[in-house]
Chains A and B, each alone.
Chain A
Amino acid sequence: MTATAQITVPAGSSPPAPPRAGRPRRAGFGERTVPYLLLAPAVITMLVLLGWPAIQVVGISFRKLDLGELVRGEVVWVGLDNYVSVLSDPEVWTITLRTVLFTVACVVGTVLAGLLIAVLMRHLSSKVRIALQVCLVLAWATPILATTTVFQWIFDQQYGILNKTLVKLGFESFAGFSWFSSGASTLTVIGLLIVWQAVPFVCFTIYAGLLAAPRELYEAASIDGASGWQTFATVSWPAIRSLVTLATFLSVIWDFKVFAQVWAIRQGGPDGESTTLPVVLYLKGIAQRHFGVASAIAVLMIIVLLALTARYLQLLLRSREADVS
């Protein structure tokens, strides 16, 4: 999927724990249960707020649950009907493919931009770097819909600053150019918007990794006459590799289910060409109140997401085993 998927070293593998002084005495019952008691509130909260709704969604996906059933309190099991109706709709397959491609494009854009800016930050003087960091934090802290509105103004057909600037630069054909009249250009604008909002997090994460790389290694590399690219490949990259993997897969999860920006820009239009799976979910569930069908789509989304992040989950599990052994 992306270049980072080829990593074979477990992400986040921790250094071996320091040897303890002597074998601890056998812990008493109370001591052994305390950690679990301390964890309990968080675990219970997560089970109630995340686990239970997730189970409900799976259950509802096998039921016919429209407004009528909801109001009358009926439970109507329909087996796989919801899945059949979703999967037999060719439009859903197009939208799934579109959503996956859109996610990949957003993630690649986000991680590459974040990586470049992070590497750049290491080379900047402290004043410029702080200015850049403040800008990144501001871009990050602006509410999603506020940024979305600003983007809509930038790309406005008549009054948008982008078209006006392009015309001033000599590209006369952009006078009154409509950025939202085809699905491809609408998705490009939405993609830019998502990348814009996602870059700061990725950038700071990777930058933190770069800071952890020992300064002496860079000095050694420069004494050995390493080029910039060689220094990056041999010194920086090992320090940030696991963080880049982490950022990539977190981005996959976030970008795959992004809804607010897609909906706010053009409600999945024109002609439904910027419709992604979360938009379908909204239309079926909230707009048409077919909660059963919407739940089936939600389950399918989880499956696609699991497939997309399978590699990362595999790495996670493997690193767990490594810790245990």
Chain B
Amino acid sequence: MVGAAAIALATAGCAGSGGTDNSGDEAKAGEPRTLTVWLMNGSAPQTLTDSLNKEFEKKHDGVTVKYEVQEWNGIQDKLTTALGSQEPPDVIELGNTQAPSFASEKVLTDLSGDVDKLNGDQWLDSLKASGEWDGKQYSTPFYAANREVIYRTDMFEQAGITAPPTSRDEWLDAITKLKAKFGKDKQFQPLYLPGQNWYALLSFIYDEGGDIAKKDGNDFTATVNSDEAKAGLEFYKQLVDASGTTAPKDNDEQNPEQAGIYGQGKVAMMIALPWEVDTAAKDHPDIKEKTSAFPIPSKNAGETAPVFQGGSNLAIPLNSKNADLAKEYLALMLSSKYQAQFAQAGMVPGASTDLSALDANPVSKAMAEASKNGKSVPATPKWATIEAGQNPLKDMLTAYLTGAKSIDAATDDANKALDAAFSGS
């Protein structure tokens, strides 16, 4: 009942709030105004935001930017209460999978008319899609990141693998070679792959030409029992079997944290985000110079597999009293000048197709290469349940990999569960 009480308190606290008519509140230019900006922890380096805020304040007389860094943990609740308050932040960052649930509730400012001003022709497709609802644009791309194969250069060399794999066959071949070279060590794993890395699974399904759902207007129908999706799942199992990974089949890449296991030095490859290398290097600093990355290989030799694109969007809350200023702020942030700085910081910028700044580091270079072919999860507010933890794709993976269900039963069950989530109230 604690949860219920919390809801009551949260809503009671907001009683009577919102719904204010802000047209009359907008101060005249020149009067002191404060623009509140919420970005997430780890999104933007401080040097970047410092110069951005300075430039913005210089351009707009009398405006102070109140820049606040938020933690991902508990952000959904914090945004819920903040958006309902009289004085919400003026610019917010939303996880790209969260964005549709905010857009569908119409609590964000419609930005459809400002797309051109906001560098719209440079936007990353997958993030643009996650900001759309009902044919309108409610949030803009911010930055993206995707998974790649992180590997040990020294182990590859010793196993006689001269170049990083560029096809599934070469990838499996590399696993065989690594096993032959290091297999005597019982703890060695050519590839660390836990049973529930559904981001990797999405990549394999996309590569087969499949997807997890089909879009029809605002509605989605699950398609994980299609032949393409089954082929993707088969390949996942093939990787698990070929590598003989001892990672748990009933858990994901965060439990236990795969970077920590990679850091212990008995793993030659993992499917991970670029910054997981830094996590691994925290306890084992020497591993960084022995690490590089390549994009997840496709079944078609020479191509890279499409990837699940995670990332963030930017939006202006509906109750913002400074929506005009907030749009200006977004325009500056999405300008090529600052987008280039994001790329230098190791992210795939959401509003720039120029990724050359990422080439300096081989680990970010691999991500940039794959990012051109990225997709996001279905842009539906119903994804919230799945995001919260009850993910049918994870259950499907565990059921099939442990042999608890056949591939047909596992995919049919997941399809049913996804459809229920998509249509559920």
> Is residue A76 contacting chain B, with contact meaning CB distance below 8 A?
no
- Quick check: A67 and B80 within 8 Å, CB to CB? yes
A287 to B19, CA, bound (A): 23
Give 1 or 0 for each of A262-283: 1 = CB within 8 Å of chain B CB: 0100011111100100100111
> Could you tell me the distance between the alpha carbons of A302 and B4 in the complex, rounded to whole angstroms?
11
Query: How far apart sit A71 and B250, CA to CA, in the bound complex (Å)?
Result: 39
Q: Are A60 and B8 in contact (CB under 8 A)?
A: yes
> 8 Å CB contacts to A: which residues of B391-405?
391-392, 394-395, 398-399, 402, 404
Bound-state CA distance A27–B372 (Å) is 86
Indicate whether B62 reaches chain A with its CB closer than 8 angstroms. no
Instruction: Give the shortest distance, in Å, between B11 (CB) and chain A (any CB).
Output: 6
A192 to B248 CA separation, bound complex (whole angstroms) = 22
Q: Which of B14, B250, B392 has the most CB of A within 10 A?
A: B250
Whether B1 lies near A71 (C-beta < 8 A) is no
CA distance A156 to B249 in the complex (A): 10
Determine if B11 and A281 form an interchain contact, defined as CB atoms under 8 angstroms apart. no
- Which residues of chain B have C-beta atoms less than 8 A from A156's C-beta? 248
Contact residue among A71, A281, A302 (Cβ-Cβ distance under 8 Å from B83):
A71
Could you give, for residues 82-112 of chain B, a 1 whenever the CB lies within 8 Å of some chain A CB and a 0 otherwise?
Answer: 0110000000000000000110011100000
Contact check, A285 vs B7: say whether CB atoms are below 8 A apart.
yes
CB < 8 Å: which of B12, B249, B317, B390 contacts A56? B12
Kindly list chain A residues whose C-beta atoms are within 8 Å of the C-beta of B19: 72-74
Tally of B interface residues using CB under 8 Å: 56
B272 to chain A, nearest CB (A): 19
Chain A positions within 8 Å of B399 at CB level: 181, 270-271
Decide yes or no whether A239 CB sits under 8 A from chain B: no
Inter-chain contact A65/B389, CB cutoff 8 Å = no
Q: A182-B404, A293-B425 are in contact. Are A158 and B11 (CB under 8 A)?
A: no
Least CB separation from B104: chain A residue: A68
Of the listed stretches A11-19, A46-54, A97-105, name the one at the interface; the rest are far from the partner chain: A46-54
Is residue A85 contacting chain B, with contact meaning CB distance below 8 A? yes
A180 close to chain B: CB less than 8 A: yes
Q: In the complex, are the beta carbons of B7 and A270 less than 8 A apart? A: no
Within 8 A of A (CB), among B411-425: 413, 417, 425
Q: Which of A269-325 contact B (CB under 8 A)?
A: 269-272, 275, 278, 281-283, 285-291, 293-295, 298, 301-302
The answer to whether residues A286 and B77 also contact, given A66-B105, A73-B16 and a CB cut-off of 8 A, is: yes
> Using an 8 Å CB-CB cutoff, how does the interface string of A26-54 with B read, 1 for contact, 0 for none?
00000000000000000000000010111
CB of B245 to closest CB in A, whole Å:
10
Is A157 on the interface with B (CB-CB < 8 A)? yes
Decide if B8 touches A56 in the complex (CB within 8 Å).
yes
Report Cα–Cα, A178/B256, bound state, in Å: 15
B408: min CB distance to chain A, Å: 16
A54-B5, A178-B402 as given contacts; A67 in contact with B102, CB under 8 Å: yes
Q: Choose, from B163-171, B292-300, B380-388, the stretch at the interface.
A: B380-388
Given contacts A283-B385, A289-B80, contact A72 B18 (CB under 8 A): yes
Specify which chain A residues have a CB less than 8 angstroms from the CB of B17 in the assembled complex. Answer: 73
B360 at the interface (CB under 8 A from A): no
- Contact between chains at B18 and A178 (CB < 8 Å): no
Q: Does A207 contact B (CB under 8 A)?
A: no
> Is there contact, CB below 8 Å, between A73 and B14?
yes
Residues from chain B with a CB closer than 8 A to the CB of A73 are 14-19, 84
Are A157's CB and B3's CB within 8 A? no
- Measured in the bound complex, the distance between the Cα atoms of B250 and A182 in whole Å is 10
**B9 contacts which chain A residues (CB < 8 A)?**
53
Please give, as numbers and ranges, the residues of chain A lying within 8 Å of B251 by CB-CB distance.
Answer: 157, 180
- B368 vs chain A, min Cβ distance (A): 33
CB distance from A55 to the nearest CB of B (A): 8
Residue contact B250 to A180, C-beta cutoff 8 Å: yes
Residue-wise interface mask of A (140-161) relative to B, using a CB-CB cutoff of 8 A (1 in contact, 0 not): 0000000000001000111100
- B3, B246, B425: most-surrounded residue (chain A CB, <10 A): B3
A263 to B250, CA, bound (A): 15
Given contacts A70-B18, A71-B83, A180-B250, contact A291 B390 (CB under 8 A): no
A271 vs B76: C-alpha distance in the bound complex, in angstroms? Answer: 24
By the criterion CB–CB under 8 Å, are B12 and A71 in contact? Answer: no
Select which of B5, B84, B249, B395 is within 8 A of A271 by beta carbon. Answer: B395
A295 to B256, CA, bound (A): 35
Contact between B384 and A288 (Cβ–Cβ < 8 Å)? yes
**Interface centre among A67, A159, A268, by most B CB within 10 Å?**
A67
* Contact A294–B388 (Cβ < 8 Å): no
Chain A residue numbers with a CB within 8 Å of B2 are 257, 259
Beyond the given pairs A270-B399, A288-B385, 20 more chain A to chain B contacts, judged by CB atoms under 8 angstroms and listed by A's residue number, are A56-B11, A56-B12, A60-B7, A60-B8, A67-B107, A70-B11, A70-B83, A72-B18, A180-B251, A181-B402, A181-B404, A182-B404, A269-B395, A278-B3, A283-B385, A286-B7, A287-B384, A289-B101, A294-B3, A302-B1
Closest 6 CB pairs of A and B: A267-B389, A298-B4, A287-B388, A73-B18, A53-B8, A68-B105
- Can you list 13 residue pairs at the A/B interface with Cβ under 8 Å? A56-B12, A67-B102, A70-B80, A71-B319, A85-B425, A178-B249, A269-B395, A270-B394, A272-B390, A281-B4, A282-B3, A285-B7, A288-B101
